[in-house]
Amino acid sequence: MSDDGISKEPMLEMYLFEGEQLVEQLEEIIIKCEKDKKFEMGAINEIFRIMHTIKGSSAMMMFNQIALVAHSMEDLFFFIRANQNVQVDFVGLSDMVLAGIDFIKAEMNKIEQGKVADGLGDELIAEIKTQLTKMKKSYEDESTLPAVVADPVANEATPKYYISSYQPSPDKKTENTKYCVKVFFEEDCKMENIRAYLVVNNLEDIVEEIYYLPVDVIDNEESAIVIRENGFLICFSTAVSYAEVESALNETAFLRKMEIDQVDQYPDEIKALHRRKEIRLDDIPAEVDFRPQLETVETSKDVDAGPGNNRQQNIISVSVAKLDMLMDIVGEIVISEAMVTKNPDLAGLQLEGFSKAARQLRKLTDELQDIVMSIRMVPVSMVFHKMNRIVRDMSKRLDKEVNLEIIGENTEVDKNIIDHLSDPLMHLIRNAMDHGLESKDDRMAAGKPSAGKITLEAKNSGGDVLIIVRDDGKGLNRDKILNKARERGLVHKAENELTDKEVFSYILLAGFSTNEQVTEFSGRGVGMDVVTKNIEKIGGSLAIESVCGKGTEIFVKIPLTLAIIDGIEVGVGKSRYTIPTISIRESFRIDEKDVTSDGDGNEMIMIRGQCYPVLRIHRMFNIKNSVTRIGDGIMVMIESDAKIACLFVDKLVGEQQVVVKALPRYLKKVQGIAGCTILGDGGISLILDAHGILARQLA
Amino acid sequence: MSDYIETAEDTQRGKFLTFSIGKEAYGFEIKYVTEIIGIQDITEVPELPNYVKGIINLRGKIIPVMDVRLRFKKEPREYNDRTCIVVIDIRDISIGLIVDHVAEVLVIPPENIVPPPAIKTGFHNRYIKGIGKVGTEVKLLLDCDKLLNDEEIDALSNAVE
Amino acid sequence: MKNVLIVDDTMFMRLSLKTMLEKNGFNVIGEAANGAIAVEKYQELHPDIVTMDITMPVVDGLEALRQIRAIDGQAKVVMVSAMGQEVMIRNAVMAGAKNFIVKPFTEESVIKVLSKV
């Protein structure tokens, strides 16, 4: 990228941000058009405009291959837009555009990762051009409409002259002076003919008559070449001062050289023009309809807030880095606020006024926190809509007709989380299409409609967001799964005690796949456990329900936000841990005698008739110098996804709100530790994740 | 990254921060160093290799700290008030290196640096990029990149992203 | 210091222009993403110069140019076009545009043109 001396960083970010948005929009439109089997004017305009924009921005950023590919697609749609009756092969055309989109996406991806965008679009461009030629040919054969591209006003050789608005002042006795000016433009400034016209325009109001050579600057592109070689000759007469003339001429941009001469007579070539004079009034040639149709551009439902906003902009885009900083500072404020209002110096003092003010402060910081969090919230629609493409591609490849239904796309989730959602969702949808949905024949034999249905739904549920991927395919076979699990030695409970949910969750384990064939997309047995891991990484969990023969539902529960949680601080040895309040059922002290061990050293306790495993944190994390006698410590009962256990810790320190910070990337991820937080005294507390802890220790 | 480091990029070539571990003197390029702090409380994190002692809070940023002695499989030593943490920043990873004490910043021109001997023995030879001669002394110049990222570590640290 | 209103439907372009202009002593007082908003903003802000993209939804650059010139005959509008839009530029110039810039543009050429407007 050339360096204009401007930092390209913000530009690059904006380019990628807008580019990616545009590409997504484009993809949606194309898929819809393909489905509807028609290209509505609004869609064509939109496609054209997007390609045009991508071309422009890419050229500015010197990503020439992207610009070229976009350009060729722009040309294609320019033609379609101008010739609405042209026969279009919808599937072929969509495939081509999608191929173009994929190319652009891939290149942008490379750029985003700091790599060189080295893809070559030649083949693609050649294909597109071939398609365009084919279209043009078939169109010309059929229709009688003239090719639209040429300018109908082109070929007038008759020079035009302008009656200028210049009126010599009646009392002025000054005579007009004749001038002859030759103008040379800078090399490579392009469109010299129009620039030349601009010069004439500038002079119009101060001259009485004006002639110029070449004459057809407005209409004939080739005149630019003449001007480049010979300069632009202007002759005029005026009564204004030389200084004024010079000043008007100096307004010309890209001026390389200019010769101004006062003459008595115009040169011969101008005189020749003079004789052929035809006076015409200012004339704006009949417009060729290159303007985009001015019907209101429909914002189709799928196309959400696009960059070319045709409604008032009450939205601004903010860099995520700034939001993260804001989040951090708000977090610090929360901690500081606690340090002030819960300061040990104040213990035992009666402080009416202070307490009142502290409560008010607390209220305000809570509000601030809520607002900042809400700023970070982004609707899941972007991620959901990406799935349309997957469904479309796969249904073609698998020859299965599938309808994707999207519900609750406006449900919002923290920006951090949404980025990690798309891969898992993609995989779930692929699974549903590949393994869940049966072939057309099988479906019809089973009395189902031939088109399969996949529903992608998002809704709020308490402090979490629930995302459901539902298909009406053949469902999961409990026995088959159980057999496989048994084979792999994964079954630890009596089989008849396992609920369906538990059986189905075996497929989330690594290496588990009951598919005999490995298909291109899935079935390699690495899928579901990676999905689970990724969901857990963002603090979520998976659950599966299914009815054999009817379909499968996969529930993905993810927290609304990772950022700030309520937690109970506990101490184990020198270390401090924070357990999210939401995972805690209760805490209590117990006696040595209440704990029983089984043969393998696993401890458990009975509470109100139920038996729960005991997990010693100090053992789990190898912490020295902690309390080991049951009677001296505390039990904290935690729960996650219907699994319950009691954690044994040294002591409870207190309750507080903590800002979740990720552990440094360099460190290996520890199952059961979700992150860390900085305490009021500057120390660090590790945040436990109930789901992870339970998964560690329990089968 | 402090401004100092960024703008003085060129003037930092050939400058090494030297520190000692036992009898040996080591050094690495100062361009990686963001700051040097005294030893402070380290929060332990379970399941880490023994030479990664845990994490510390550096003005709100959480960074891991590695004990260079242990990394080089030397005898561990108790930390005292001369013990320092040298915070380095490579490829967006910040990490603190615990060293016995920091000596000084030296300029070692390239002609005074020779490649390490091709001896296969010596575990920590692979972290040494070169041997720098300073007067009569010899400093073992470390390859920070390798120190942080060799297969051992890759195998241990699951890519989080 | 000249006040400029930037009109372009692309955020990227608006940012590019704004960056270039502000670096060279111009004061960007407003932005508009289509011709209709451009006309509104013109009346609200009275910029010294308007940079006007040609291809925009709702109301395009040419139409917005006309409307602005109708409101203010002294309005200085510079068209921003892509290659291959000669006819549009010509029409714009005849409708009163003071000059034009062709995409992709360099900082140098933008400033050259705007300084002379």
User: Tell me, what's the ipTM?
Assistant: 0.86
Nearest-CA neighbor of A558 among A391, A697, A424? A424
Q: Chain C neighbours among A 151-190 (CB < 8 Å)? A: 151, 189-190
Q: Report if residue B161 sits inside a domain.
A: no
Q: Which of A666, A671, A689 would you mutate first to test chain B, the one with the most B CBs within 10 A?
A: A666
Position A483 scores a pLDDT of 84
Q: How far apart are CA A535 and CA A546, in angstroms?
A: 20
Q: CB under 8 Å, gap of 24 or more: what pairs does A506-514 form?
A: A506/A481, A506/A482, A507/A476, A507/A481, A507/A544, A508/A532, A508/A542, A508/A544, A512/A484, A512/A485, A512/A488, A514/A477, A514/A480, A514/A481, A514/A484
**Tens-digit pLDDT profile for residues B109-146:** 888 888 877 665 555 567 788 888 888 888 888 887 77
Position A288 scores a pLDDT of 38
Position A293 scores a pLDDT of 34
Note the helical H segments in chain C.
11-23, 35-45, 61-71, 86-94, 107-116
**Tens-digit pLDDT profile for residues C53-86:** 998 888 989 999 999 999 999 999 999 988 777 7
Contacts of A68 in chain C (CB under 8 A): none
The residue type at B112? N
Position A498 scores a pLDDT of 74
Q: Which of B41, B42, B48, B57 would you mutate first to test chain A, the one with the most A CBs within 10 A?
A: B57
Position C45 scores a pLDDT of 93
Strands laid side by side in the A551-559 sheet: A402-407, A452-461, A464-471, A551-559, A541-547
- Among 2.40.50.180, 3.40.50.410, 3.20.20.70, 3.10.100.10, what is the CATH number of A564-697? 2.40.50.180
For residue B65, pLDDT over 90 is answered with yes
Residue A312, chain C, CB below 8 Å: the answer is yes
Contacts of A223 in chain C (CB under 8 A): none
**DSSP states along B53-74:** EEEEEETTEEEEEEEHHHHTT-
Task: Give domain limits for chain A.
Answer: 9-142, 177-275, 320-376, 378-559, 564-697
pLDDT per 10-residue tile (average), chain A, 699 residues: 54 88 91 83 87 91 91 88 75 87 92 86 88 80 47 38 48 70 85 86 83 81 84 87 86 85 82 59 39 32 36 64 81 76 79 89 86 84 87 87 91 82 87 86 88 91 83 88 80 73 77 57 60 75 87 86 78 92 88 86 87 91 87 89 87 83 78 82 85 77
Higher-confidence residue of A697 and C98: namely: C98
Q: Compute the mean pLDDT over every residue in chain B, rounded to the nearest whole number.
A: 77
Contacts of C9 in chain A (CB under 8 A): 49, 53, 307-309
Position A274 scores a pLDDT of 66
Q: How far is C46 from chain A (nearest CA, A)?
A: 19
User: If you average pLDDT over residues B75-84, what whole number do you get?
Assistant: 85
Say whether pTM exceeds 0.80: no
For residue B22, pLDDT over 50 is answered with yes
Q: How many CA within 13 A on the CB side of residue A230?
A: 9
For residue C8, pLDDT over 70 is answered with yes
Q: How far apart are CA C30 and CA C41, in angstroms?
A: 7
Cβ separation of A623 and B44 shorter than 8 Å?
yes
- Among 3.30.70.20, 3.30.70.1110, 3.40.50.150, 3.30.450.20, what is the CATH number of A177-275? 3.30.70.1110
Cβ separation of A59 and C100 shorter than 8 Å?
no
Contact between residue A675 and residue A591 where contact means Cβ atoms under 8 Å apart: no
Q: Report if residue B26 sits inside a domain.
A: yes
**Residue A498 DSSP class:** -
User: Helix, strand or coil for residue A97?
Assistant: helix
Helices (H) and strands (E) in chain C, counts: 5, 5
Position A306 scores a pLDDT of 39
**Tens-digit pLDDT profile for residues A497-527:** 777 877 887 787 766 665 554 555 554 445 7
Q: Total domain count for chain B?
A: 1
Task: Give domain limits for chain C.
Answer: 3-101
User: If you average pLDDT over residues C80-101, what whole number do you get?
Assistant: 86
Phi first, then psi: give them for residue A569, nearest 5 degrees: -90, 130
Q: Chain B neighbours among A 508-567 (CB < 8 Å)? A: 537
What's the CATH fold of domain A320-376? Helix Hairpins (1.10.287)
Position B14 confidence tier, pLDDT thresholds 50, 70, 90 = confident
Q: How far apart are CA C81 and CA B91, in angstroms?
A: 41
For residue B13, pLDDT over 90 is answered with no
Take residue A381 and report the two structure tokens written for it: 């629609």
Q: How far is C68 from chain A (nearest CA, A)?
A: 18
Contacts of B42 in chain A (CB under 8 A): none
Q: Report if residue B160 sits inside a domain.
A: no
Q: CA geometry: angle at A34 spanning A33 and A37, to 5°?
A: 80
Residue A373, chain B, CB below 8 Å: the answer is no
A–C CB contacts, 8 A cutoff, strictly below: 130
The residue type at C36? A
User: If you average pLDDT over residues B71-79, what whole number do you get?
Assistant: 83
Take residue B55 and report the two structure tokens written for it: 């994490």
Q: How far is A388 from chain B (nearest CA, A)?
A: 25
What is the domain range of residue B112?
3-155
Higher-confidence residue of C52 and B126: namely: C52
Position A514 scores a pLDDT of 57
Q: How far apart are CA A274 and CA C114, in angstroms?
A: 35
SS3 helix, strand, coil % of chain A, rounded to 5?
A: 40, 20, 35
Beta-bridge mates of residue A572: A575
CATH code for position B68: 2.40.50.180
**CATH code for the domain defined by A378-559:** 3.30.565.10
**Neighbour-count burial of C105, counting CB atoms closer than 10 A to its CB (0-12 exposed, 13-18 middle, 19+ buried):** buried
Position B149 scores a pLDDT of 65
SS3 helix, strand, coil % of chain C, rounded to 5?
A: 45, 25, 30
Q: How far, CA to CA in Å, does A370 sit from each of A330, A363, A364, A373, A539?
A: 10, 11, 10, 5, 20
Contact between residue A369 and residue A560 where contact means Cβ atoms under 8 Å apart: no
Q: How far apart are CA A32 and CA A171, in angstroms?
A: 71
Q: CA geometry: angle at A553 spanning A550 and A556, to 5°?
A: 175
What's the CATH fold of domain C3-101? Rossmann fold (3.40.50)
User: Helix, strand or coil for residue A220?
Assistant: coil
Contacts of A317 in chain C (CB under 8 A): 11
